[in-house]
Amino acid sequence: MKLDFIPLDKLAVSKANMRYARKAPDVADILPTIRARGVLVPLMVRPQPCSECAGGNAPGLFEIVAGSRRYHAARIVADETGQPEPLPCAILDAGDDAAAIEASLIENLARLDPDEVTQWETFTRLVRQGRRPEEIAATFGLPDLTVRRVLALGNLLPRIRHMYAREAIDAATVRHLTLASKSQQRDWLALADDPEAYLPTGHQLKAWLFGGQSIPVRHALFDVEASGLAIVSDLFGEERWFADADAFWAAQQAAVEARRTAYLDAGWADVVIVPISDQFHSWDYEKTAKRKGGRIYIELRTSGEAVFHEGYLSRKEARRAAGSEGGGAVPAKASRPELSGPMQDYLDLHRHAAARAALLGAPSVALRLLVAHAIAASPYWNVRAEPQSARHEATSESVETSRGETLFDERRRAVLALLGCSPDEPTVIGSMIEAAGGDPVVALFWRLLDLPDTAIMDVIAVIMGESLASGSAAVEAVGLTLGLDMADWWQADPAFLELVRDREVLTALVADVAGEPVATANAREKGKTLKRIVTDHLEGNDGRSKVERWVPRWMAFPPAAYTERGGVGTLNAHAMAEAARVPVAPPKPPAAPVALAAPEPDPACDPANGEPVQLAA
């Protein structure tokens, strides 16, 4: 390889270049730099082949293997100035097509991250040149599985690949289409062409391919390879399913029956197979040891999974067994209670009235009792933690690794340790409180009485955060009240940009980070190009000015929209929060003071200085 300066009119894009035969690439990001400083990074070229020329190469002519965008940008500048400048070039040896294709893909992978269909086209050309998938993976520093996934796209009909390349279908749909035969792919395309037909995509597509029931191989209790059952796997090599659900269930039922026999031989009193139409509700059963007559329950699920519940009896049977221990004597009939039902009501209600009146003078005690009810629940409290569920797994991963969620999880673990719970509990609300047979609310109340007010406030902040509904007006009210700046807590990631599909919105995002001129110049570009421009500005890549602390309008407090079309949930929540700002007139003073019996002073406060003191349980 040698370096030289070659005139523009001696250069042409090579057929080995992965962007050959496509429209002129977008060069808006590099054009300003090339106007100011020219082409600084050498193009990769090789002598242009010519079958009719001596030596097989056209004298003085070269074809571009890598650097097509720099070449097109240089031509634009030459047309503007009328003074074409020769370009710096690294000249490869002639004739090695595989090396030229690799050079083109390596450079473009580093700069533009081409779509998977473009990678498939290039990888396929390398395979035709004699490269093995393992060699391709080693060349580009990719896992073997990634290369095989890309090559697997060759088993799809060309039209489906074209739809994927222009983002008409998503990756999940393509992945499931790789399970389909060619005839099934044609049937699916026929549905896509029929505006009146339902077109299954994503996970619905898998159900359509399997006729309603898809059973993963991982749920089999038997030796799958030895069974000889037909298996369908996606061409990415990660998931496998049984082609015949009836054949699977015949083999699975036989394996379940073998497990049942093994349990009985091991000394279990009974093994009950719970059919698919029923469910094993753990709250209707009690754990019971084998020596006390506990059973095995095998629960079969529609997914093909078999779940084994070892050592259970129904609550009625467990109570009967407990009563018959020690010779099988039947417990004597209970004697008449000391208090009648009406008398018990009388006592309970009077004690209740006195207790809640006393709480009026002990707010710190009431606060601890409130926290205990919120965590452990009671007949009149049902506090649930926000599930934080998302439609896309990438969204869940993005939230889990965010700064806000990481900080909240650290504080939650500290609160769990403070309350004597396992730090592995998923939430403080509903966490397991060791009550030694007593009421968990009261057990927690005793613990909270030993904690200072500052610790109680930490507990309150966590349980309020856990039960704060996502997307609600309450979130909006908190953000407005605390003056939240989302730039402190969030930055754009691939999961965010993947979810932006609307062209008008993408153009508006480009205007946000790059300015209106750049957005206008690229308004007709593909969504992938618009997303790359946004990413380059946020990361400061390819000579673009880096934009710090950018937050999309929807995410800010208060939020805003990019279009007039509506459908922005954060705006609706903001409107509800603002509508709730109803001014309340100050209450009128009473005509005369009302005399109330003074409750006992709060034992949690020192009368001398008002500071909280610790209470013994």
Give pLDDT, residue 508: 92
| pLDDT, mean of residues 532-544 | 89
Strand partners, 271: 296
Are 162 and 115 in contact by the 8 Å Cβ rule? The answer is no
Of the chain, the percentage scoring pLDDT greater than 70 comes to: 78
Give pLDDT, residue 606: 45
pLDDT tens-digit map of 223-244:
988 888 888 775 555 567 787 8
Give pLDDT, residue 111: 45
| pLDDT, mean of residues 333-349 | 70
Give pLDDT, residue 611: 45
- The Cα 121–Cα 245 span in angstroms is 36
Residue type, 124: T
- The Cα 187–Cα 182 span in angstroms is 9
| pLDDT, mean of residues 476-483 | 88
pLDDT at 616 over 50: no
Q: Which residues of 243-255 are buried (b: 16+ CB within 10 A; e: fewer)?
A: bebeebbebbeee
Give pLDDT, residue 123: 76
Which one is predicted more confidently, 581 or 492?
492
User: Which residues lie closer than 8 Å to 328 by C-beta, 6 or more apart?
Assistant: none
Give pLDDT, residue 588: 66
Strand partners, 91: 2, 45
- The Cα 367–Cα 592 span in angstroms is 30
Are 248 and 304 in contact by the 8 Å Cβ rule? The answer is yes
pLDDT at 438 over 60: yes
Which one is predicted more confidently, 246 or 336?
246
Which one is predicted more confidently, 88 or 344?
88
pLDDT at 568 over 80: yes
Give pLDDT, residue 511: 93
- The Cα 452–Cα 368 span in angstroms is 10
Confidence of residue 604 (pLDDT cuts 50, 70, 90): very low
- The Cα 436–Cα 497 span in angstroms is 51
- Three-state DSSP at 496 gives helix
- The Cα 182–Cα 572 span in angstroms is 46
pLDDT at 373 over 90: no
pLDDT tens-digit map of 262-290:
998 888 888 998 887 677 776 677 888 88
Give pLDDT, residue 110: 42
Of the CA atoms within 13 Å of residue 450, those in its CB half-sphere come to 9
For tokens 């005690």, what's the residue? 365
pLDDT tens-digit map of 6-25:
898 888 887 766 555 556 67
Residue type, 121: E
- In terms of average pLDDT, the best of 40-49, 448-457, 595-604 is 448-457
- Alpha carbon of 429 to those of 194, 388, 451, 455: distances in Å? 50, 14, 18, 16
Residue type, 336: R
Are 119 and 154 in contact by the 8 Å Cβ rule? The answer is no
| pLDDT, mean of residues 391-406 | 84
Give pLDDT, residue 188: 85
| pLDDT, mean of residues 208-212 | 63
Give pLDDT, residue 58: 65
pLDDT tens-digit map of 404-417:
888 888 888 898 88
| pLDDT, the chain, mean | 78
- The Cα 17–Cα 63 span in angstroms is 9
Which one is predicted more confidently, 580 or 301?
580
Closest CA to 8 of 103, 57, 111, 81: 81
- The Cα 100–Cα 129 span in angstroms is 11
pLDDT at 222 over 50: yes
- The Cα 568–Cα 556 span in angstroms is 12
Whether the pTM exceeds 0.85: the reply is no
Confidence of residue 509 (pLDDT cuts 50, 70, 90): very high
Confidence of residue 507 (pLDDT cuts 50, 70, 90): very high
- Three-state DSSP at 442 gives helix
Helix axes 133-140, 97-111, angle to 10 degrees: 50
Which one is predicted more confidently, 303 or 443?
443
Give pLDDT, residue 102: 55
pLDDT tens-digit map of 76-88:
999 888 888 888 8
pLDDT at 592 over 70: no
Which one is predicted more confidently, 583 or 361?
361
Question: 180 φ, ψ to 5°?
Answer: -85, 150
3-class secondary structure per residue, 272-339: EEECCCCCCCHHHEEECCHHHCCEEEEEECCCCCEEEEEEEEEHHHHHHHHHHCCCCCCCCCCCCCCC
- The Cα 198–Cα 211 span in angstroms is 15
pLDDT at 607 over 60: no
Give pLDDT, residue 55: 54
Alpha helices in 467-526 (DSSP H): 473-482, 494-499, 503-514, 516-521
Confidence of residue 613 (pLDDT cuts 50, 70, 90): very low
Write the DSSP symbol of residue 223.
-
Give pLDDT, residue 1: 60
